[in-house]
Amino acid sequence: MSKEDVFVGAIDQGTSSSRFIIYDKSARPITSHQVEFTQFYPQAGWVEHDPMEILESVKVCVAKAVDKATADGFNVDKGLKAIGITNQRETTLVWSKSTGAPLHNAIVWMDVRTTSICRRLEKELSGGKGHFVDSCGLPISTYFSATKLLWLMENVDAVKEGIKKKDALFGTVDTWLIWNLTGGKDGGLHVTDVSNASRTMLMNLKTLDWDPATLKTLGIPGEILPKIVSNAEVIGNVATGWPIKGVQISGCLGDQHAAMLGQVCRKGEAKSTYGTGAFILLNTGDKVIKSNHGLLSTIAYKLGSKAQTNYALEGSVAIAGAAVQWLRDNLGIISSASDIEAMASQVENTGGVYFVPAFNGLFAPWWRDDARGIVIGITRYTTKAHIARAVLESMCFQVKDVVDSMQKDYGNDKKDGVLRVDGGATINNLLMQTQADLSAMPVIRPSDIETTARGAAFAAGLAAGIWKEDFIFDTAEQMKKATTFRPIMTEEVRKKKVECWNKAVNRSFDLADLSFEL
C-alpha cells in the first residue's frame, strides 16, 4: 500500500481516557495515541471530569497520533480527509458562549447526585418514573443528562447567571468537542447528534428533535440546547489551533452507538461493549420497541440526514471494568488491570463468592439507585483469587441479565443467536468464556476490538464519500480472524449459579442509607 493514501481519523473520548486513531482506506488502524485523565469524586456517589482536561487530552492525542503516523511515512497532512467523534454519553456540561470557560465540572454519566431531583419528579408527574418514556424511551433516572442539567440549573450560581444572560450553552461531551474543534468562542458550532441527544431524556425518538412538552415540563430553555444532526453528515471543519486544521468533521455517535456500527449490527443483532461499564444494544430496525423488562428504547444509528433511522433496545451496566480498577486502585489486589485474568485463573471457581458491583446503584434491568456493592459467600477458604474471579463473573452475570430481558422484549430466540463483543476487557479470554457459559450462547470477538472508534470512522468516511455502506456492512470481511467462545458449562451448574447471583443482587437493595452519610 502506498503511504500517500486516504485516511480517516476517530476521536474516541471515553470515561477514563481519550484516544485518536487513524485508519487507512481499508479501515485498518495505522496508528493511535491514548491519554488518561483525572476522575474527581467530590462526595460519595458523585463523579466529575474537568472539561478543559478532557479537551487538552484530545489535543494531545491528535497531535501525537499525527506525529507517529508521519514518522512512519504516512502522509496524513494531505491524506487525512475526515474525522469522526465518539464519546462517553450522558456526561453533562454547561459553558460560557462568550469566554468558552466551563461553568462547572462535567457531571459524569454514573453520578447519582440527582437522586432527590428524580424522586421529586416521580412524585410530581403523572406516570411517575415512566412519565417521559413515550417521548424519549427513557425512565426518570440519575443516569440521563436532563436531571444533571436540572441540578446545575438549581445549584450552580454561574449556570443560573449564564442562562439568565443568554450566555450558557449545554452539551454532552460530543457537543463540547465539536464546539471547540470548530472555533470555540470564535464561531464554534453548537451541535449534537441523534444518538447522544437520545440519551438526554429531552429528544423525541420519533421526531428526532427536542421535545417541546418535555422542555416546558422541566423548565429547560431551548436556546441553550445544540442543533441535532444525523450520525453521518458533514458538520464543519476543524479550526486553527489544531494539527488537523481544515479537516472536515463528518461523523458523530455516542460510544455505544458507534460500537453498534463498528460491529455492523443489523436488525436483530446485538453487541456488548465492555469498558468502565458494559452496554448491550440490540438493533430493532425502524421500529421503536417499548421494553417491559427494564430496558431502554434508544437510537441505534442514522447514517445520513435522509437515511432510515435504526432504533435499539439497550441495557446499561454501570460498573464493569471499573470494578477491576477498584481491585487495583482501592484494594491493591492487582497491580494492573491486565493481571486479573492470571489471578482469577488460579482457582477453578469463585468458591461460592458473589460480588455485586452496585457502587452507584444498579442500572438495567434492575434500576435500583438504592443498591450498594456487596461481596457475599466469604469463608476462611476465600482468597483474593476467588474475589478476582467473582469480579469477572459479576460483569458476565449483569450482561446475561440484560440479554435475557432483550430476548423477552424482542422475541428473538437466544438459542440461535450470538453476542458480539468489543472493548478493552474482551482481551481477557477467561472473561469471554465465562460470558459464553453464563449466557448459554456463543460470544464472538472481532480481530479489532476497538469497534467504538471504528464505528466513528465508518460514519465519517461514509459521509465524506470515502466508503459506501456495502463496504462497511461486509459481514464476511468483518468476521475475518474473529474468535468465537462457545458455552461449555452444564445447564445444571449454570442454573445454580444464576439462582445464587439473583439472591446476591436482591441483598444489595436498600443499602444506600448505610453509606458515608451515617
Provide DSSP, 39-76: -B-SSTT--EE-HHHHHHHHHHHHHHHHHHHHHTT--H
pLDDT at residue number 77: 86
pLDDT above 50: residue 192 = yes
pLDDT above 80: residue 477 = no
Domain range list for the chain? 7-255, 321-405+413-418+428-442+487-512
pLDDT at residue number 136: 93
Give the distance from CA 161 to its chain's centroid: 31
- Give dist(CA 26, CA 299) in Å, integer: 27
139 neighbors 293 (Cβ within 8 angstroms): no
- Give the residue among 307, 306, 263, 310 at the shortest CA–CA distance from 298: 310
Beta strands in 114-240 (DSSP E): 168-171, 191-193, 203-204, 209-210, 227-229, 236-237
Residue type, 335: S
Residue type, 157: D
- Please give the average per-residue pLDDT across 353-381, as a whole number: 91
- Please give the average per-residue pLDDT across 314-327, as a whole number: 90
pLDDT above 50: residue 288 = yes
Q: Residue 331 has what DSSP assignment?
A: I
Measured CA angle at 172 (ends 112, 367), to 5 deg: 30
- Give the residue among 285, 311, 316, 290 at the shortest CA–CA distance from 300: 311
Q: What is the DSSP string of 95-140?
A: EETTT--BSSPEEPTT--TTHHHHHHHHHHSTTGGGTTHHHHS--S
Return mean pLDDT, the chain. 91
pLDDT above 60: residue 146 = yes
pLDDT range class, residue 264, cuts 50, 70, 90: confident
pLDDT above 70: residue 76 = yes
Cis-peptide into 102, omega within 30 deg: no
pLDDT above 90: residue 178 = yes
- Give the residue among 48, 91, 110, 131 at the shortest CA–CA distance from 362: 110
pLDDT range class, residue 160, cuts 50, 70, 90: very high
pLDDT range class, residue 512, cuts 50, 70, 90: confident
191 neighbors 227 (Cβ within 8 angstroms): yes
CB-neighbour burial class of residue 511 (10 A; exposed 0-12, middle 13-18, buried 19+): middle
**Residues of the chain with pLDDT > 70: what percent?**
96
pLDDT at residue number 514: 52
pLDDT at residue number 516: 46
Measure the N-to-C terminal CA separation of the chain; round to a whole number of Å.
64
- Give the residue among 36, 42, 30, 108 at the shortest CA–CA distance from 70: 30
In what helix (H) or strand (E) does residue 327 lie, and over which residues does it extend?
Answer: none
Write phi, then psi, for 473 (nearest 5 degrees).
-95, 25
- Give dist(CA 255, CA 15) in Å, integer: 10
Of 63-67, 253-257, 332-336, the one with minimum mean pLDDT is: 332-336
- Give dist(CA 470, CA 422) in Å, integer: 22
Of 197-206, 259-268, 292-301, 408-417, the one with minimum mean pLDDT is: 408-417
Model pLDDT for residues 419-436, shown as the tens digit of each residue: 999 888 899 999 999 999
- Give dist(CA 24, CA 31) in Å, integer: 10
Give 3 or 192, the one with higher predicted confidence: 192
In CATH, 321-405+413-418+428-442+487-512 is 3.40.50.360: no
Q: Residue 144 has what DSSP assignment?
A: S
Q: Residue 413 has what DSSP assignment?
A: -
59 neighbors 242 (Cβ within 8 angstroms): yes
- Give dist(CA 480, CA 482) in Å, integer: 5
Which H, E and C letters describe 457-496, residue by residue?
A: HHHHHHHCCCCCHHHHCCHHHHHCCCEEECCCCCHHHHHH
Q: Where are the alpha helices (DSSP H) in 189-265?
A: 194-197, 212-218, 255-262
pLDDT at residue number 515: 46
Residue 402, SS3 per DSSP = helix
Residue 18, SS3 per DSSP = strand
pLDDT at residue number 1: 41
Q: Is the dihedral angle over the CA atoms 337, 339, 343, 348 positive or is it negative?
A: positive
pLDDT range class, residue 393, cuts 50, 70, 90: very high
Cα torsion through 338, 341, 342, 346, rounded to 10: 150
- Please give the average per-residue pLDDT across 51-60, as a whole number: 96
In what helix (H) or strand (E) does residue 99 lie, and over which residues does it extend?
Answer: none
- Please give the average per-residue pLDDT across 370-376, as a whole number: 93
pLDDT at residue number 518: 39
Are β-strands 80-87 and 7-13 bridged in parallel, bridged antiparallel, or unpaired? parallel
Q: How far is CA 467 from CA 195, 232, 485, in A?
A: 21, 12, 31
pLDDT at residue number 414: 52
pLDDT at residue number 476: 55
Q: Residue 265 has what DSSP assignment?
A: -
- Please give the average per-residue pLDDT across 115-136, as a whole number: 92
Model pLDDT for residues 216-249, shown as the tens digit of each residue: 999 999 999 999 999 999 999 999 989 899 999 9
Which CATH number describes the domain made up of 7-255? 3.30.420.40
pLDDT above 90: residue 277 = no
515 neighbors 465 (Cβ within 8 angstroms): no
pLDDT above 60: residue 167 = yes
pLDDT range class, residue 172, cuts 50, 70, 90: very high
- Give the residue among 143, 364, 142, 174 at the shortest CA–CA distance from 254: 174
- Give dist(CA 447, CA 27) in Å, integer: 13
